[in-house]
Structure 1
Amino acid sequence: MREITLDLDAVRLQALTWGPETGRLAVLLHGFPDTAHTWRHLGPALADEGWRVVAPFTRGYAPSAVPEDHSGHVAALMDDAVAIHARLGGGSDAVLVGHDWGATTANALAAHAENPFVAVASLSVPPFAALRTPAAVRVLPRQLRNSWYVLFNQLPLLPERHAERLVRRLWADWSPGYDAGEDLPAVLEAIADSAHRRAVFGYYRNLLRPFPRPPARYRRWAGAEMRLPAVPTLYLHGGGDGCLDPRLAVLVGPGLPPGSETHVIEGAGHFLQLEQPAAVNARIVEFLAGH
C-alpha cells in the first residue's frame, strides 16, 4: 500500500493505492462514517489481479481537504470521481467500486451519459430508482426506523458535537457483532476537527436540502442519482445489514442493465467488505474480470 496526493481542480485528495502504476484503473470510494482504510482487503486482492487500485479519502475526510466550495452534493462527489479518472489517465476500461455514500456516487455515475467507467460495483446502498416498486412499501416502516440518523444529521451543531458517540453507535447497529477496533480510530481521526466534521455531515444536509443548487461546475451531474444505471452493475448487500434492510436487495435486480448481478452476502452487515472480505473480494474480482 502506498499513499498519493491527487490535486484536482475542486479539491486536494489523499488516497491509498495498491498495484502497478500502469495497470487497469479501479477507483474505490468509501462511505459514511468510514475512510479509505475500508478497502484494505479488496485493494490488495485487485492488485494481485493486475489492477491499479486508488482509494481516496473523499472530500471532507482528513487527510483530504475540505473543499473551498463546501459542497457535499452527490454531484460534487461524482465530479471528484471523474476528475480522479482524468488525473490518473484512466482509460475506457476503468471501473468504479463504492460502498455506502461511495455506492450512491457510483450508482449515479453508472446512470449518467458522461460516465467514464465501464462497470460499477456498489455495496450496501442500491440505486434509488430501482426501489420504485410497490414491493418496497412493505419494507418502509422498518427502514424509516433504521434511517433515524439521516434526520438527526440535518440538525445544526448536534451531529458535530456528538460525532464520536454517533459513529460508534452506527458501526455497532449496522454491523452487529463486528469488532470495529481497527476502523473506528481512523474514522474519528478523519473527522477530528470541526471543519472536517461540518463537511462530512454536509453530505446529508445537501442530500435532503439541495438548495441552493450545487455550484455550477457540478450541475451537469445533478439528478443522476435518481436514474437507473446504464452500465453493468454488481450490487452486493449484507444479509444482516442494520442500516438498509436486506429485503431491499432482492428488489434491485430487475432495474439493472444486462450483464449486471445482485448478491446477498450472508454473515455480513453493512460493512460487508470488512466482515466477509473473502466472499466480497471473490464476487468483485470475478465480476470486474468479465468487464
Structure 2
Amino acid sequence: MADYIQIPTPAGKFDALTAGPEGGRPVLLLHGFPEAGVEWSEQLPVLAGGGCHAVAPDQRGYSPGVRPEQVADYRMEELVGDVLAIAEHFGWQRFDLVGHDWGSAVAWATAAAHPDRVRTLTAVSVPHLDAFGKALREDEDQAQRSAYMQVFRGSGAEKALLADNARGLRRIYEHKVPDHHVDDYVQRLTEPGALTAALNWYRASHLGGRIGPVSVPTLYVWSTEDVAVGSTAAFATAEHVTGDYRFEMLEDVSHWIPEEAPEIMSRLILEHLLAHQD
C-alpha cells in the first residue's frame, strides 16, 4: 500500500503517493498525460518491497497546489526544476528516475542536464527527445501519430475532451487502463483549471530545444502497439545514450505500459536498479 503525502517546494505543494522506508534507495516516478501519480500504484509496493523509498508525485498542473496559469510556466525547464525541488525536499543527492509518457520526457531532460543527480533512468514509451524531435520532422509515420498534439494545443481542446461526460478524454485510454484509474483521472481533470494546466504541457512544448546525450545508465521500454510513438524514434534512441543502455520492446502492449503490463514493468525497473547499485 502507498501513503498519500504532500511535498512542499518553492513552487507550491505537490500531492504524491509514497511507499517504502525513508532511508531506502530513492526512486522518483513521473506520470504522463492524462494521468497522475496513481499510475504507478502497482509499482510502488514492489519497489518498497525491494528496499526503495519510492515517490510518485502528481506533477505541475496536476497537483492543485502547483497549478500556475501561464503557458510559459510549463516549459521543460520548470518541469525539470520541479524534479530537483522534490529531490531536495527529501535530501536526495542522487536518485533513480522513472518516467512514462510526458513523465518520460521530463526524465530524459533531467538526466541529460543533471547526470550528477540521476543514478539511473528508466524511460517508458517516450524516447529520447532529440530522437523524437528528428522523427517528428523527418518521419511521416511519426508525424501522423503526433498530429493530436496540434489539436491539444488548440483553444477548443478542453471543450472537446470534456463534452458528453468527458467522452473524448476517456477515449484516450484505449480501454487499456483500469476503469477505476480512468474514473479517478477524469474526476481530477474535470476540476476547474486542471485540464487546461495539463494541456499547457503541450502548448509550452515548442519552447524547448535539444537536450543532448544522456550519460547515465538508461533503460528504455517501448511497446509495439503504441499509437503515439512509432519505431523510428524508439530504435534511434540508442544513438543518444552514451552510458550503459538497455532497450526493451514489449509485443502486443499499448502505450499504457505501467497499467496494462504492471508486473513486467515492475520487474524491468527492479532489474535495472539492481544492475546499477553505485
Common fold: TM-score over 0.5: yes
Q: CA deviation at 1:234?
A: 0.8
| Larger mean Cα displacement after TM superposition, 188-197 or 279-288 | 188-197
Matched residues, number: 270
**Counterpart of 2:82?**
80
RMSD: 2.2
% identical aligned pairs: 29
Listed one character per residue, the Cα deviations across residues 246-278 of structure 1 (whole Å, up to 9, x for unaligned) are 343222223212312111112311111111112
Q: CA deviation at 1:235?
A: 0.5
Alignment of 1:1-291 (within 5 A): 1-67=2-68, 71-92=73-94, 94-113=95-114, 116-131=117-132, 136=135, 140-156=139-155, 158-163=156-161, 164-172=166-174, 178-208=176-206, 210=207, 223=209, 226-291=211-276
Aligned-partner residue type, residue 106 of structure 2: T
TM-score (norm 2): 0.89
Aligned-partner residue type, residue 259 of structure 1: D
**Counterpart of 1:217?**
none
Q: Identify unmatched segments of 5+ residues in structure 2.
A: none
Listed one character per residue, the Cα deviations across residues 39-93 of structure 1 (whole Å, up to 9, x for unaligned) are 011111111100000000001114553137661111111000001111011133x
Q: Is the 8 A contact 2:217 2:245 kept in 1?
A: yes
Change (3 A) 1:120 1:137: closer
Distance between the aligned counterparts of 1:137 and 1:182, measured in 2?
A: 33
Aligned-partner residue type, residue 74 of structure 1: M
Distance between the aligned counterparts of 2:125 and 2:205, measured in 1?
A: 17
Change (3 A) 1:139 1:237: farther
Change (3 A) 1:132 1:100: closer
Distance between the aligned counterparts of 1:16 and 1:67, measured in 2?
A: 22
| Larger mean Cα displacement after TM superposition, 21-30 or 241-250 | 241-250
Change (3 A) 1:37 1:155: same
Aligned-partner residue type, residue 198 of structure 2: V
Distance between the aligned counterparts of 2:137 and 2:152, measured in 1?
A: 25
Distance between the aligned counterparts of 1:121 and 1:198, measured in 2?
A: 28
